[in-house]
């Protein structure tokens, strides 16, 4: 399947899964309350396919614009209702039933995210152990005393097991611009504590690669540049390289590790390189010209050589898989969803106050891009992406904006307080304000999408 088709199908699958589950939340709650459901639509606009099912002849439909969906319920405010169906009209339900029906959509997204995270935690999430390289000088990490070979154990007493955990914990604290207490195990095996100051982080730091801004870098593999294999008919084989060769220099510059060697090769596509090679005790000079792979900024040089067994073992020692038993995974999954929800609200508030850039807001183009990338990376990455977006969809729909579920909930809670429904005039004004807000958010989201598309 081509890359374009992979991205398209991944995006459509994302929308279908998340939207269908959200609307099923409304649907199930309405069925429990015996409200008559007229239509269940995935997408908006022109109907591409539909079928009527059940005693109420509910219309199930797929529409042309795959950016949402809706459940249409019987309602006197929208059409005439037969006398026998009046008890089943949505507007005739008690305020608590209406709250239950409307709130069930976002809740369904949170439940789906918990299910995804639970499945990930049970099957195991692969990651890199949080072992650090020497921090960049004069960065917060260097000033905190973090050193080469330190392994992160906890941040503010919250355990971390992978670099993904470290990035997430620090991102949450960076939004608060606070100091964090980092527990590490030093290369010597001694346990120690460091204070990492995040008070100097800016909105741009949160937007970009936070670990780089803090001076934190994953441990660099130290295995020498020994060739484990040489692929036939590739640049290395054409130059005369052989398995077991050890590269000790490139263009007169000493090379100590495989990482140093491949970094130079990747940066010199189709440029001749003079390699100093040790082979069975002899010293050779071999000129090799890396083949070019990719285009533009993604263009790299490749020799077609493989790593040694020593490097494979060292790399494997840096990898880990985080997993839990089925019972332990459930509360951890629920906490993960809660943690993400709270962080999303904090981030949104800081966008409103100007502390965090609106560049964090993404639209359908970026979601499609991430969907495609995560699908290509494997099912674990794609399922993680679905869980994150499901949480975001749940939080978004609970915002107190008219036209969203959260806006309707505000009306219903106001009805409880005042003892009567909100007036139609108030709701009309709210609809206009809500529409303006949603159009504004949509504009920002599309602007950011297009900006990312052209600037990378």
Which residue spans within 163-207 are E strands per DSSP?
A: 179-185, 191-197
Active-site annotation holds for 76: no
- Report helix angle 326-352 to 95-123, nearest 10: 120
Q: How many residues does the chain have?
A: 456
HEC profile of 355-422: CCCHHHCCCHHHHHHHHHHHHHHCHHHHHHHHHHHHHHHHHHHCCCCCCCHHHHHHHHHHHHHHCCCC
- Report helix angle 364-377 to 424-455, nearest 10: 60
Q: Which of 156, 150, 149 is nearest to 171 (CA)?
A: 156
CB of 452 closer than 8 Å to CB of 361: no
* Active-site residue, from 23, 134, 309, 428: 23
User: Scanning the structure block, which residue is given the tokens 């980092």?
Assistant: 182
CB of 127 closer than 8 Å to CB of 162: yes
Tokens of 303: 């020799």
First and final CA of the chain: distance in angstroms? 24
Q: Which of 362, 335, 327 is nearest to 113 (CA)?
A: 335
Would you please indicate which residues are annotated as catalytic (active-site) residues?
A: 23
């Amino acid at each position: 399947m081509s890359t374009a088709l992979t991205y398209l199908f991944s995006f459509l699958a994302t929308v279908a899964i998340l939207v269908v589950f959200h609307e099923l939340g409304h649907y199930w709650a309405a069925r429990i309350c015996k409200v008559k459901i007229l239509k269940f639509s995935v997408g908006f606009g022109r109907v591409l396919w539909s079928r009527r099912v059940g005693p109420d002849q509910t219309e199930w439909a797929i529409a042309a614009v795959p950016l949402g969906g809706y459940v249409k319920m019987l309602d006197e405010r929208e059409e005439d209702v037969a006398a026998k169906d009046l008890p089943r009209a949505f507007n005739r339900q008690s305020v608590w039933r209406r709250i239950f029906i409307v709130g069930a959509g976002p809740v369904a997204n949170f439940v789906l995210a918990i299910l995804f995270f639970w499945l990930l935690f049970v099957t195991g999430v692969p990651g890199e152990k949080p072992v650090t390289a020497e921090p960049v000088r004069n960065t917060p990490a260097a000033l905190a005393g973090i050193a080469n070979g330190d392994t992160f154990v906890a941040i503010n007493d919250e355990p971390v097991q992978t670099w993904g955990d470290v990035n997430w914990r620090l991102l949450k604290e960076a939004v608060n611009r606070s100091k964090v207490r980092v527990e590490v195990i030093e290369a010597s095996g001694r346990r120690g504590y460091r204070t990492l100051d995040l008070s100097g982080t800016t909105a741009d730091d949160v937007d970009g690669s936070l670990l780089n801004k803090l001076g934190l870098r994953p441990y660099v593999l130290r295995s020498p540049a020994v060739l484990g294999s040489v692929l036939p008919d590739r640049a290395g084989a054409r130059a005369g390289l052989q398995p077991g060769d050890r590269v000790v220099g490139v263009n007169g510059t000493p090379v100590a590790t495989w990482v140093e060697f491949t970094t130079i090769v990747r940066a010199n596509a189709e440029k001749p390189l003079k390699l100093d090679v040790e082979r069975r005790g002899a010293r050779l000079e071999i000129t090799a010209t890396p083949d070019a792979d990719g285009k533009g900024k993604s263009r790299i040089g490749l020799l077609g050589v493989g790593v040694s067994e020593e490097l494979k073992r060292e790399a494997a020692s840096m990898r880990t898989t985080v997993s839990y038993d089925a019972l332990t995974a459930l509360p951890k999954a629920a906490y993960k969803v809660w943690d993400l929800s709270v962080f999303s609200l904090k981030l949104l508030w800081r966008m409103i106050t100007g502390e965090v850039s609106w560049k964090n807001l993404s639209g359908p183009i970026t979601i499609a891009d991430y969907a495609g990338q995560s699908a290509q990376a494997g099912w674990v990455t794609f399922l993680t992406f679905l869980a994150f977006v499901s949480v975001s969809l749940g939080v978004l729909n609970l915002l107190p904006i008219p036209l969203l579920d959260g806006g309707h909930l505000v009306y219903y809670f106001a009805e409880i307080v005042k003892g009567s429904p909100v007036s139609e005039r108030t709701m009309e004004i709210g609809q206009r304000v809500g529409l303006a807000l949603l159009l504004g958010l949509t504009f920002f989201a599309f602007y950011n999408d297009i900006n990312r598309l052209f600037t990378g």
